[in-house]
C-alpha cells in the first residue's frame, strides 16, 4: 500500500519546485492581505468603502490579466510569464508600503491585479499540465495546492506574531516590504532552477494575434466549464468574506470560535487534498465538479437552516472545504484536458480568471445583504448559483457526448487529446 502511494507521488521535478514556490508565494501574500485593510483604514486613513473599491479593482484587473497571460505563456513559455508575475508582485507589495492615499492605493491595486496572482497561477498550472500525464494531473494540482495552503496558513501567523511583538503602526509597512523581498528571492531561485516546459514546435504551433482567445471562447464545452467555474467560485469567494462577520454580528460567535472554523478549513485541506485529488484522477472530472456543486449547495442549505455555530462549523469546515478542494483541482485538470496543446496556457488562464470575476461580485452582494440584515438571501442565492453550475456541467457533458457521437475531429484537438478529456466515455 505504501509503495503504491509513493508511486502515485512520483512527479516531474518541476512539480515539486512549484509546490515550494507556491508555499513561499502564498506565505508572502499572507504577510500582506490579512493586514492590508487594517493598515489602509487605521493608519493611512482610507475609508473602508474605498478600500473595498481597491479590492474590486484588483479583482477586475486580475480577470483582464487572464486574457493576456495565457496567450503569452503559450507563445513565449511558462517560465518567463511566472517570473514576470513574481517581479510584478514584488514591485506591487513594495509600492503598497509607500501608499499615502486612495489614488495611489487604487493605482497599485490595478497593477497588482494585472501582474500578480492570476498571471502566476495560469502559467504555473500550464507547466504542471505540460509535465504530467492527464491521468495524474489532479494529484499534481492537489500536491501544489497543499504547498499554497500551507503558505496561506503560515504567512498570516508569522505576520500576526511580528505585528504583536513590535506593536507599532509602522510594522505593517515593514511586513509589506518583507513580502516583496521574499517574492523577489523566489523569482531569483526559479530563474536559476526551473526548466521551461513549453511543448515542442511539433506539438505547439501558436497562431498570431488573438486567434487563441477566439478559439477558446468558441469551444462549447469549455464555455460551459467557464460558466460553471464563475458560479462555483461565486460561492467559494463569498463565504470566505461573509461568514466571519455573519458569525460575529448575527450569531454572536466569539473571535476564538471564528478562528476555529477558519483554521479547520486549512487543516482539512492539508490532510485531505491529496486523497481527494487521487480519487478525482480515478473518475470523471465532470462528475467530480457536479459533486462539488452539490457540496456547496449542502453548505448553503446548512447555513440557511441552522443559524448556529455548529451549523457554520459543519457547513464550512466539512461541506464547503470538500467542495473547495474538489473545485480547485478538478476544475484546473478539466480545463487542461479540454485544451489543445498549443492553447493550454490560454485555457488555464481563462479558467483562473473565473475566480477574479466571481470575487469582483460576491463580496459586494454579501455586504449589501448583510447591511440589510438579510443573510438568508445570501445562502438562497448561493443555492441558485450551485444549481446553475450543475446545469452548465450537464450541458458540458451533453455537448461532448454529441460531438463524440458525430465523430467530431475539429482542428483544435487530436484524437489522442480527445480521449484524455476529464470524463470517461458516456
- Long-range pairs for 310-318: beta carbons < 8 A, 24 or more residues apart: 312/243, 312/247, 312/251, 312/253, 312/261, 313/260, 313/261, 313/264, 316/239, 316/243, 316/261, 316/262, 316/264, 316/265, 317/261, 317/264, 317/265, 317/268, 318/268
Indicate if 249 and 171 belong to the same structural domain: no
Residue 6 lies in a domain: no
Please indicate, yes or no, whether residues 215 and 174 belong to a single structural domain of this protein: no
What sign results for the dihedral spanned by CA atoms 248, 252, 253, 254? positive
Question: Where is average pLDDT lowest: 98-107, 108-117, 322-331?
Answer: 108-117
User: Closest by alpha carbon to 29, among 120, 146, 117?
Assistant: 117
- Among the residue ranges 76-80, 96-100, 210-214, 265-269, the one predicted with the least confidence is 210-214
Domain match, 190 and 275 both: no
Q: Decide if pLDDT at 332 tops 80.
A: yes
User: Is 141's pLDDT higher than 60?
Assistant: yes
Q: Is residue 206 part of a domain?
A: no
**Does 426 map to a domain?**
no
Residue 205 in any domain: the answer is: no
Higher pLDDT, 36 or 128: 128
Q: What is the predicted pLDDT for the residue at 278?
A: 92
Asked whether residue 297 is assigned to any structural domain, the reply reads: yes
Which pLDDT score is estimated for 206?
47
Alpha-carbon distance values, 187 to 24, 62, 90, 112, 191 (Å): 10, 20, 9, 16, 6
- Average confidence (pLDDT) over 35-52: 83
CA 340 – CA 345 distance, rounded (Å): 10
In this prediction, residue 414 has a pLDDT band, given cuts at 50, 70 and 90, of very low
Pick the last residue of a domain from 170, 198, 226. Answer: 198
Q: What is the pLDDT of residue 171?
A: 86
250 shares a domain with 129: no
Distance CA 21, CA 30 (A): 14
Query: Residue 295: its pLDDT value, please?
Result: 98
Rounded CA Rg of the chain? 21
Same domain, 113 and 238: no
CATH of the domain at 155: 1.20.1250.20
> Is the confidence at residue 400, as pLDDT, over 90?
no
Residue 118 has pLDDT above 90, yes or no: no
Of these ranges, 208-222, 252-266, 374-388, the one predicted with the greatest mean pLDDT is 374-388
Q: Domain limits at 188?
A: 11-198
Q: Mean pLDDT across the stretch 58-66?
A: 87
Mean pLDDT across 352-371:
86
- Rounded distance between C-alpha atoms, residue 244 and residue 293, angstroms: 22
H or E, element range at 113: helix 102-114
Q: Look at residues 137, 165, 198 and tell me which one is the last residue of a structural domain.
A: 198
pLDDT for position 160: 79
d(C-alpha 213, C-alpha 65), whole Å: 13
Given pLDDT bands bounded at 50, 70 and 90, which one contains residue 86?
very high
- Angle CA 218–219–223, to nearest 5: 95
Same domain, 49 and 82: yes
- What is the CA angle 409-413-418, rounded to 5? 80
Minimal CA–CA distance to 66: which of 112, 120, 128?
120
Q: pLDDT class for 413, splitting at 50, 70, 90?
A: very low
Q: What domain count does the chain have? A: 2
Q: What is the pLDDT of residue 415?
A: 40
Q: Is the pLDDT of residue 321 over 90?
A: yes
| Residue range 8-29, pLDDT digits in tens | 568 999 999 999 999 999 999 9
pTM: predicted TM-score of the whole model, two decimal places: 0.83
Same domain for 216 and 192? no
Same domain, 182 and 276: no
pLDDT at residue number 211: 66
Residue 152: what pLDDT?
82
Burial of 308 (0-12, 13-18, 19+ CB in 10 A): middle
In a domain, 3, yes or no: no
**Is residue 5 situated within a structural domain?**
no
pLDDT of residue 198: 93
Question: With 60 as the cut, is the pLDDT of residue 232 above it?
Answer: yes
User: Where is pLDDT greater, at 51 or 143?
Assistant: 143
Instruction: Report whether 7 contacts 130 (CB < 8 A).
Output: no
In this structure, are 180 and 262 located in the same domain?
no
For the ranges 47-51, 304-308, 403-407, the lowest mean pLDDT is seen at 403-407
Instruction: Say if residue 181 is in the same domain as residue 225.
Output: no
User: Which residue among 157, 175, 198 closes a domain?
Assistant: 198
Cα distance between residue 320 and residue 240, in whole Å: 10
- Is residue 420 scored above 50 in pLDDT? no
Cβ-defined contacts of 50-56 (< 8 Å, 24+): 50/102, 50/105, 51/105, 52/363, 52/364, 52/367, 53/106, 54/102, 54/105, 54/106, 54/109, 55/109, 55/363, 56/360, 56/363, 56/364
Nearest to 150 by CA among 138, 158, 161: 158
Confidence (pLDDT) at 10: 83
Q: Report, as an integer, the average pLDDT of 156-175.
A: 82
Percent of the chain at pLDDT > 90 equals 55
What mean pLDDT is reported for the chain? 86
Residue that wins the pLDDT comparison between 387 and 218: 387
What is residue 351's predicted lDDT score, i.e. its pLDDT? 94
In this structure, what DSSP letter does residue 283 have? S
What's the confidence (pLDDT) of residue 185? 97
224 and 284 share one domain = yes
Is 318 among the domain residues? yes
Q: Specify the pLDDT at position 6.
A: 57
Q: Are residues 253 and 318 in the same domain?
A: yes
Q: Which of 81, 72, 82, 78 is nearest to 24 (CA)?
A: 82
Mean pLDDT of 309-335: 94
pLDDT of amino acid 3: 53
Q: 257-299, pLDDT tens digit by residue?
A: 877 777 788 888 888 999 999 999 999 999 999 999 999 999 9
Of the candidate ranges 126-135, 160-169, 337-346, 384-393, the one whose mean pLDDT is the lowest: 160-169
Amino acid at each position: 500500500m505504501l509503495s503504491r502511494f509513493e508511486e502515485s507521488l512520483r512527479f516531474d521535478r518541476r512539480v515539486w519546485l512549484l509546490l515550494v514556490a507556491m508555499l513561499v508565494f502564498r506565505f508572502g501574500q499572507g504577510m500582506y492581505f490579512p493586514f492590508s485593510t487594517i493598515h489602509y483604514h487605521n493608519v493611512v486613513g482610507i475609508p473602508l468603502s474605498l478600500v473595498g473599491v481597491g479590492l474590486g479593482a484588483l479583482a477586475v484587473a486580475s480577470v483582464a490579466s487572464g486574457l493576456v497571460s495565457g496567450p503569452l505563456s503559450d507563445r513565449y513559455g511558462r517560465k518567463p510569464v511566472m517570473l514576470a508575475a513574481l517581479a510584478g508582485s514584488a514591485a506591487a507589495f513594495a509600492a503598497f508600503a509607500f501608499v499615502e492615499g486612495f489614488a495611489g492605493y487604487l493605482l497599485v491595486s490595478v497593477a497588482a491585479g494585472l501582474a500578480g496572482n492570476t498571471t502566476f497561477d495560469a502559467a504555473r498550472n500550464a507547466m504542471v499540465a505540460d509535465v504530467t500525464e492527464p491521468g495524474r494531473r489532479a494529484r499534481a494540482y492537489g500536491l501544489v495546492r497543499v504547498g499554497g495552503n500551507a503558505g496561506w496558513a503560515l504567512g498570516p501567523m508569522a505576520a500576526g506574531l511580528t505585528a504583536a511583538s513590535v506593536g507599532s503602526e509602522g510594522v505593517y509597512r515593514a511586513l509589506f516590504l518583507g513580502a516583496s523581498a521574499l517574492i523577489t528571492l523566489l523569482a531569483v531561485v526559479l530563474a536559476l532552477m526551473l526548466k521551461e516546459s513549453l511543448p515542442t514546435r511539433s506539438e505547439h504551433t501558436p497562431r498570431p494575434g488573438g486567434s487563441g482567445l477566439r478559439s477558446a471562447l468558441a469551444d462549447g464545452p469549455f464555455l460551459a466549464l467557464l460558466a460553471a467555474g464563475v458560479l462555483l467560485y461565486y460561492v467559494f469567494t463569498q463565504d470566505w468574506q461573509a461568514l466571519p462577520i455573519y458569525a460575529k454580528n448575527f450569531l454572536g460567535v466569539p473571535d476564538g470560535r471564528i478562528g476555529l472554523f477558519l483554521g479547520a478549513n486549512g487543516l482539512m485541506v492539508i490532510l485531505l487534498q491529496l486523497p481527494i485529488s487521487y480519487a478525482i484522477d480515478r473518475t470523471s472530472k465532470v462528475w467530480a465538479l457536479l459533486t462539488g456543486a452539490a457540496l456547496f449547495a449542502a453548505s448553503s442549505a446548512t447555513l440557511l437552516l441552522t443559524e448556529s455555530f455548529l451549523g457554520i462549523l459543519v457547513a464550512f469546515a466539512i461541506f464547503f472545504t470538500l467542495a473547495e478542494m474538489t473545485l480547485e483541482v478538478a476544475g484546473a485538470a478539466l480545463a487542461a484536458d479540454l485544451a489543445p496543446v498549443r492553447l493550454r496556457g490560454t485555457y488555464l488562464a481563462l479558467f483562473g480568471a473565473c475566480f477574479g470575476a466571481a470575487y469582483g461580485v460576491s463580496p459586494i452582494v454579501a455586504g449589501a445583504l448583510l447591511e440589510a440584515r438579510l443573510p438568508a438571501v445570501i445562502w438562497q442565492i448561493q443555492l441558485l448559483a450551485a444549481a446553475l453550475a450543475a446545469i452548465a456541467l450537464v450541458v458540458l457533458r451533453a455537448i461532448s457526448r454529441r460531438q463524440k457521437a458525430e465523430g467530431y475531429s475539429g482542428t483544435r484537438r487530436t484524437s489522442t487529446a480527445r480521449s484524455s478529456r476529464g470524463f470517461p466515455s458516456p
